[in-house]
Amino acid sequence: MDSGGTVPSKIPVYFQHNRGFIYDVEDYLTLRFTHRIAGNLIGVPASKPRNSHVFGLPAALSAYELKLALEKGLVALVDRTSGLEREPNDGLRQQYEDLVRRQVAEQKAPVVEKRIREFRSYLPKIVEGKRKKMLKSGVKEEDIQIDPEQLIAEERRKVESMEFDRLIQIPMEHPLNTERAIIDFDLSGDHERLKYRVFRDIWEKQNVFISGGDAFGCDFLLYPGDPLYYHASHMIHVLADADHRLDVKYMIRCCRLSVVVNKICVFAYAQRDAGVICYQTVEWEGNVENEF
C-alpha cells in the first residue's frame, strides 16, 4: 500500500463501502470501449435528472471487474476514507470557500451576459430616451454627449452587484485535495476466486463483454458486443466442485431458464489436477446450429 498523495498514471478507482467507483467520464469510456469493462452506472445523468430509466456516473465496478483491472495494471485503487473522516483543517476550509466562490461566479457569468445582450438590443432606444430627457431639462442639443459603451459598462457594474438565486452543486467526486492511499484488493473464499478465474479466462480468450448474471439466475452473462447495443447470448454457471456429480434438477432448472430467456447455457468448472478452466455448453436441440 502506498500512503503517498500521488496517484499513478492509471485510471483512479475510488474505494468506498467495499466497492470501486469511477467518477470521470473519460476514464469510464476508456475502460468500457477500450478494455471491455462496462461496470454498472448507478448515478443520475445531469441532462435527465428525473428519468428513472436512464443512469449516469458514477460507475460501480463489480469485484471481478475491479480485480481484473488491477491485475492488468489499468487502474489504481484509491482509498480516501481516513482523509474524509478527519475534521478538515484551515487549508481544506479555504479550498472549499474558494470552490463555492468559483461556482457562484460560474453561475452568475451567463446571467450577466444575457442581461448585457438584452441591454445592447435596446441600446438605441435607451440613448434616444436619455437624449430627449436631457433636452427637456434644458440641455442644448450640441452639449449632449452620450457614450453607448459607457452606458454598457455602467449596466454591467449594476448587474454584477445584484444578488441572484444560485443552485447548490453537489459534486460526485470529492472536490478537495484530501489525503489518499493506494491500496490492494482481493476476493475472499475459494468459490469467489474460482468465479474470478472464469471471468478472467473468458475476458482474455473471447472478444466479449461480461457482466454479473444475478438478474437471470446465473453467475455471468456474455454479450457479443457492448450491452448498450446487444442482448446477452450466453449464461455462465460456475460449478464449485467439478468432481461431484452435477445435480440433475439443478441442470434442468438452468437449461429451462436459458431456453425461456433465449440464451445458451454454459457450465464452467476447473479441472482438479491441471487447474484448467473448462466449459460445457448445454442448449435446446432446436438451437444447436445457433453457434456464438
Q: What is the set of active-site residues?
A: 223, 231, 263
Residue 124 corresponds to which cell in the numbers above?
Answer: 438605441
Q: Distance between CA 99 and CA 110 in Å, rounded?
A: 18
Q: Distance between CA 36 and CA 192 in Å, rounded?
A: 21
Residue 21 corresponds to which cell in the numbers above?
Answer: 467507483
